[in-house]
Amino acid sequence: MLSYIIRRLLSAIPTLFVIITIAFLMMKAAPGGPFDRERQLPPEIEANILKAYNLDKPVHEQYLSYLKNILQGDFGPSYKYLDFTVTDLILTGFPVSLELGLYAIGLAVFFGVTAGTLAALRQNSGFDYMIMGFAMTGIAVPNFVMAPLLTLVFGVYLSVLPVAGWGSGALSHKILPVIALALPQIAYIARLTRGSMVETLHANFIRTARAKGLREKIVVVRHALRGGLLPVVSYLGPATAAVVTGSVVIESIFDIPGIGRYFVNGALNRDYPVVMGVVVFYAILIILLNLVVDLLYSILDPRVKAE
Amino acid sequence: MTTPLRKTVTRLCMFITAIVLAGMVLAALPAFAGGTLRVANMGEPASLDPHKLSGTWENYIVGDMFVGLITEDPSAMPVPGVAKSWDVSGDGKTYTFNLRQSTWSDGTPLTAKDFVFSMRRILIPETAAEYASLLYIIQGAEAVNTGKAAPETLGVKALGDHTLEIILTGPAPYFLELLTHYTAYPVPRHIIKKHGKAWTKPENMVVNGPFKPTEWIPNTHVKLIKNNKYYDAGSVALDNLVFFTQEDRAAVQKRFRAGEIDVVKDFASDQIDWLRKNMPEETHIAPYMGVYYYAINSSRKPFTDKRIRLALSMAINREAIVDRVLKTGELAAYSFVPPGVAFYDTPAQVAWKDMPYGQRVKKAKALLKEAGYGPDNPLKFTLRYNTSENHKRVAVAVASMWKAVGVKAELFNLEVKAHYADLKQANFEVARAAWIADYNDAQNFLYLLETRTGPNNYGQYSNPEFDRLMLEAEQTPDLAKRAELMHAAEAIAMDDQPVIPIYHYVSKNLVAKNVVGFVDNPKDINRWRYISLK
C-alpha cells in the first residue's frame, strides 16, 4: 500500500509540470495584460511597472524564473492585490472555502445518500418520483439563481439570516452559503445513489443475503449500501475538490473571503501569478483526492486492490 | 460503524441541528453597532499604499487615512489640509506652504521632510506608481520618473520643518486641487524605512488622517478606527468605518435593504425603477465629472474623413439613450468636457446641438453621400465595446440609429483587458471609451485629444491648432484667458469630432436615512470624517 502511494505521488510530478506549462503558456497567450485598463499608462510608467514585476523579459525567461520560484515555494506577488503575495491569498482564503466546502459535502452525502437509498427501496413509487423530481430540479436550477433567491427570502423578507458577508466567521453567516453549495450536490448524489442502489438491490449477493434470512436493515446497510456507494465515492473525489476550492458564484453573492473567486477574477485581471498559484494548488488537491478515492475503493470493494 | 465514521456522523448531525436552531433563533443581528458606518465600496483595494492606487474606490478608503497639504470639504471642494496657508509667486510657478503642527498616528511629528520623501518616493521608477504622471506638473517630476534625473532634483524642498516649497513647470490653476489627490499624500518615512513593503499591514500602518486601519481581510472588508492623533480629531463623529469590497451589485443592494450596509457606492442602474419607487429618499443621483464616448480611429481610412465622423455623431439621438436606455439621469453629451467643471463655464458644444433630430439625420445622410457612401455602397465597420450589459444596450441603440442613416456597424465585445489592449494599439475603428476626471479642470479631459498624450488619445487624433492652443493654455496664469484658450481648443475638437461624446456620467449612491452629512458632489468624493449617524 505504502509503495503504491509513493508511486502515485511520484507520477504526479510530471502531471503537475505539464499543467504548469500549459497554464503558463495559455495565460500569456490571452490578449491584454495585467496593466491594460481604461486609463492607459504613459509608456515610461508602464516600463517602470513591467520592470518591477519582471514582465519585461522574454516569455521563456519568465517561465524559467517562475519554475525556479515555485520550486522554492514562492508563488510570487499578486498584480491586483498589491499588498499580498499569492501564498498569502491562498492561505487566508483556502481555510474558509475548505470549511464551507466540507460542510456542504457533508450535508450532500448525508441527505443525498439517504434520499437516494430510500428512493431505490421504493422504486417507481410516488415517493421515488418526488425525490427524483426534487433532484432533477436541484441539478437544473443553477447556483446563481438559487443563492439570490435564498438571500431574498431568508435575508430580506424574513430577516432571519444575514444577506451576505462573513461576519468574522459567525455561524449565521455560513448557513445560506452552505445550503446553496450543498443543494446541487445533494441532488446529484441522490440520483447517483438511487441508480446504483437499484442495480445492487437486484444483484445475486443481495438475494443470497435475503435468502439467509437477514433482516432487511442489515441487508440494505451492510451489504447493498457498500456496493451501491461505489459510484458516489468516485464522484466525491472531484466533487470535493471542486467544492472545497470554492465557488466564484457563491463567494461573490455571499461576499465570502474564500479562494473560489481568485481563479476567475485572476484570469480576468490577467493576474498571472494568482491564476498560476490557484491552478497548481487545485491540481495538487485533485491529485490527492483522486488518490484518496482509489484507496477508499480498495476498502469498499474487495475486488479492487491498491496496487 | 467504526469510531471515526461515527464521530463524523455525530458532528454532521450536530451541524445540521445547529443550522436549524440558528435559523430559528437568530434575528438578523447587525454585525456592528454604534458609531460604525458600513460602506459597500465597489471593489477590493489594490493596496492601502497611496502611491500604488488607481481606482476611485481606493480613494474612498485611503482619503480618510491620509490628509494632504490640501484636502476636501464635505462637498469635495479644496480646503486647507496639513498646509495652513500658502503663498504663490507672481508667475504662478512657485508655491510656499506653511504646515500646521501635526503628528502621525504613532505620535511622530509630521514635517515638510515627509512631503519631500513622499513625492520623491511616488516618482522614483522603483515604486512603479501607475499614477505618478499626475505630478508631472512639478518641476523635474517627469525626469525623475523616467530615471533620467536623481530624485534630489525634484522641485519639492523643505525650507524648514514646517515650510515646504514646490516649483511647477507652468502655472496650473488646478494645482491646489491636485494636492487633494492621493498621489500627493504624505506617507510615513520612518515606518516605510522600518517595514519596507509590509508597512501597509494594519498592524504596521501609521497614518496622518482621521482614521487608521485595524483589519483587512482580502475580498471581505477593510476596517478603520478613529485616529485620535489626527489634528482635527475633535470634529470626527464616527468611531469605526467598514468598507465591504463586494462587487456583486445585486447582492449589495439586498444587503442595503436588509440594513446590513449604510452607504452603497455606485448602485446598479438596472434597479433604478424599483429604487425610485420604493427608496426615493435613499437614492442619490447627481452629475459626475465623467464622459462616456465613442473614440473614432482618425488615423484609419475612411475615418480620416471628417464628414464621416460628423455624420456618425449627428445620427446619434443622445436624449433617447439617456431617457430610454439608461434612465438614471445621465446628461446627453454634446461637448467633451462635462458641464460644471471649475474655471471653465459652459463647455464648447457641437455647432449642431440645437438642430432638430430629424434634420440632423438628413444632414448625416447628406454628409455620408458626399463622402461617397449611400444605399448601394453602405459604410461598414466594427463598433467595439468592453463586455457589460450597459455598454451593450447603448451600442445596440447606437447601431440601430446608424442603420437608419445607412451605416452598418457590426458589434464586437471583448472583456475589459483585451478591449483596452486593442485601444492602446489603435487596433479599432470605433470603440467605446470613458474618462473620469482626476481633478476638477477642463485640461484633465481635453489633454486626451492632444497629439503628445500618446496611448490615452485612443483614436490618435492630431490637430496642430488644437495642440498649440492647449500648450498656450498651459503657460497662461490668467484663469479667464486660460479658459478661453481651452474653450477654443474644445470647439476645434467638437468641429473635428474625433470622439463622439454620448453622455456625461452621474454618481449613483444609496444612503441610509440615518446617515447625516452626505453631500452629493461632482467628484463623488464623500470624506467620511464629516459624516455622522442619527
Per-residue pLDDT for B28 more than 60? no
Chain B residue with the nearest C-alpha to that of A155? B258
Q: Give residue B277's pLDDT.
A: 92
Q: Give residue B475's pLDDT.
A: 84
Chain B residue with the nearest C-alpha to that of A53? B128
Closest CA to B142 of B114, B163, B170, B165: B170
Q: List the single residue in A37, A88, A172 with the smallest CB-CB distance to B22.
A: A172
Q: CA-to-CA distance for B247 and B265, rounded, in angstroms? A: 11
Instruction: Please judge whether A175 and B126 are an interchain contact, meaning their C-beta atoms are less than 8 angstroms apart.
Output: no
Per-residue pLDDT for A301 more than 80? no
- Find chain B residues with C-beta within 8 A of A93's C-beta: 218-219
Mean pLDDT of B398-411: 94
> By the CB < 8 Å criterion, does B26 face chain A?
yes
Mean pLDDT of A236-253: 85
Interval B510-520: pLDDT, tens: 999 999 999 99
Instruction: Please judge whether B258 and A103 are an interchain contact, meaning their C-beta atoms are less than 8 angstroms apart.
Output: no
- Least Cα separation, residue A117 to chain B (angstroms): 17
Per-residue pLDDT for B184 more than 90? yes
Per-residue pLDDT for B390 more than 60? yes
What is the biggest distance separating any 2 CA atoms in chain A, rounded to whole angstroms? Answer: 85
Is residue B231 within 8 Å of residue B244, measured between CB atoms?
A: no
The angle that helices A230-244 and A172-201 make with each other, rounded to 10 degrees, is 160
Closest CA to A201 of A134, A302, A119: A119
Instruction: Please judge whether A83 and B146 are an interchain contact, meaning their C-beta atoms are less than 8 angstroms apart.
Output: no
- Least Cα separation, residue A94 to chain B (angstroms): 12
Instruction: Please judge whether A42 and B28 are an interchain contact, meaning their C-beta atoms are less than 8 angstroms apart.
Output: no
Confidence of residue B15 (pLDDT cuts 50, 70, 90): low
Interval B322-381: pLDDT, tens: 999 988 889 999 999 999 888 887 899 999 999 999 999 999 999 999 999 988 889 999
Q: Give residue B14's pLDDT.
A: 54
- Find chain B residues with C-beta within 8 A of A171's C-beta: 18, 22
Chain B residue with the nearest C-alpha to that of A178? B19
Is residue B222 within 8 Å of residue B45, measured between CB atoms?
A: yes
Q: CA-to-CA distance for B334 and B504, rounded, in angstroms? A: 9
Mean pLDDT of B200-215: 94
Q: Give residue A248's pLDDT.
A: 82
Closest CA to B205 of B222, B182, B181: B222
Strand partners, B413: B385
Confidence of residue B405 (pLDDT cuts 50, 70, 90): very high
Q: Average pLDDT of chain B?
A: 89
Strand partners, B286: B507
Confidence of residue B7 (pLDDT cuts 50, 70, 90): low
Q: CA-to-CA distance for B123 and B133, rounded, in angstroms? A: 8
Mean pLDDT of A231-248: 85
Q: Which sign, positive or negative, has the C-alpha torsion A301, A306, B3, B6?
A: negative
Confidence of residue B27 (pLDDT cuts 50, 70, 90): very low
Interval A167-183: pLDDT, tens: 777 888 888 999 999 99
Q: CA-to-CA distance for A288 and A265, rounded, in angstroms? A: 25
Instruction: Please judge whether A37 and B26 are an interchain contact, meaning their C-beta atoms are less than 8 angstroms apart.
Output: no
Q: Give residue B8's pLDDT.
A: 47
Residue contacts between A and B (CB atoms, under 8 Å): 197
Q: List the single residue in B19, B22, B258 with the smallest CB-CB distance to A156.
A: B258
DSSP B355: S
Q: Give residue A306's pLDDT.
A: 54
Closest CA to B353 of B321, B305, B318: B318
Instruction: Please judge whether B52 and A162 are an interchain contact, meaning their C-beta atoms are less than 8 angstroms apart.
Output: no
- Find chain B residues with C-beta within 8 A of A80's C-beta: 44, 46
Q: List the single residue in A33, A93, A255 with the smallest CB-CB distance to B244.
A: A255
As for the ipTM of the complex, it is: 0.81
Instruction: Please judge whether A40 and B420 are an interchain contact, meaning their C-beta atoms are less than 8 angstroms apart.
Output: yes
Per-residue pLDDT for B16 more than 80? no
Q: Which amino acid is at B304?
A: T
Mean pLDDT of B71-95: 93
- Find chain B residues with C-beta within 8 A of A44's C-beta: 142, 145-146
Instruction: Please judge whether A82 and B455 are an interchain contact, meaning their C-beta atoms are less than 8 angstroms apart.
Output: no
Q: Which amino acid is at B510?
A: L
Q: Give residue B21's pLDDT.
A: 45
Interval A125-139: pLDDT, tens: 888 898 889 888 888
Chain B residue with the nearest C-alpha to that of A102? B12
Confidence of residue B164 (pLDDT cuts 50, 70, 90): very high
Interface probe with B: pick from A44, A183, A296, most Cβ of B within 10 Å:
A44
Interval B289-317: pLDDT, tens: 999 999 999 988 899 999 999 999 999 99
Show the cell assigned to B205: 500602518
10 Å CB burial of residue A282 (0-12, 13-18, 19+) is middle
Strand partners, B160: B163
Interval A10-35: pLDDT, tens: 888 899 999 999 988 988 888 877 87
Q: CA-to-CA distance for A110 and B19, rounded, in angstroms? A: 15
Closest CA to B297 of B386, B361, B397, B382: B382
Is residue B523 within 8 Å of residue B76, measured between CB atoms?
A: yes
Concatenating the DSSP letter of every residue in B132-177 gives: GGGGTTBTTHHHHHTTSS-GGGSSEEEEETTEEEEEBSS--TTHHH
Mode of pairing for the β-strands spanning B102-103 and B109-110: antiparallel
- Least Cα separation, residue A216 to chain B (angstroms): 17
Is residue B101 within 8 Å of residue B86, measured between CB atoms?
A: no
- Rounded to 5°, the CA angle A205-A210-A213 comes to 135
Q: List the single residue in A36, A82, A148 with the smallest CB-CB distance to B250.
A: A148
Kindly state the percentage of chain B with pLDDT values over 70: 94
Instruction: Please judge whether A151 and B254 are an interchain contact, meaning their C-beta atoms are less than 8 angstroms apart.
Output: yes
Give how far Cα B357 sits from Cα of A6, B290, B309, B326, Å: 77, 25, 17, 19
Mean pLDDT of B137-144: 93
Instruction: Please judge whether B254 and A257 are an interchain contact, meaning their C-beta atoms are less than 8 angstroms apart.
Output: no
Q: Give residue B152's pLDDT.
A: 94
Instruction: Please judge whether B220 and A83 are an interchain contact, meaning their C-beta atoms are less than 8 angstroms apart.
Output: no
Per-residue pLDDT for B221 more than 70? yes
Is residue B527 within 8 Å of residue B71, measured between CB atoms?
A: yes
> By the CB < 8 Å criterion, does B33 face chain A?
no
For B288, the 3-state DSSP assignment is strand
Chain B residue with the nearest C-alpha to that of A161? B28
- Find chain A residues with C-beta within 8 A of B149's C-beta: none
Q: Which amino acid is at B16?
A: I
Q: CA-to-CA distance for A190 and A187, rounded, in angstroms? A: 5
Chain B, residues 322-361, CB within 8 A of chain A, namely: none
- Find chain B residues with C-beta within 8 A of A39's C-beta: 54, 435, 456
Instruction: Please judge whether A162 and B419 are an interchain contact, meaning their C-beta atoms are less than 8 angstroms apart.
Output: no
Q: Average pLDDT of chain A?
A: 86
For B320, residues 6+ apart whose C-beta sits below 8 A from its C-beta are B397, B401
Instruction: Please judge whether B47 and A82 are an interchain contact, meaning their C-beta atoms are less than 8 angstroms apart.
Output: yes
Give how far Cα B309 sits from Cα of A99, B249, B312, B355, B429, Å: 57, 36, 5, 17, 11
> By the CB < 8 Å criterion, does B128 face chain A?
yes
Instruction: Please judge whether A166 and B454 are an interchain contact, meaning their C-beta atoms are less than 8 angstroms apart.
Output: no
- Least Cα separation, residue B467 to chain A (angstroms): 18
Q: Give residue A298's pLDDT.
A: 80
Chain B, residues 435-454, CB within 8 A of chain A, namely: 435, 454
Give how far Cα A145 sits from Cα of A176, A244, B269, B524, Å: 13, 21, 20, 33
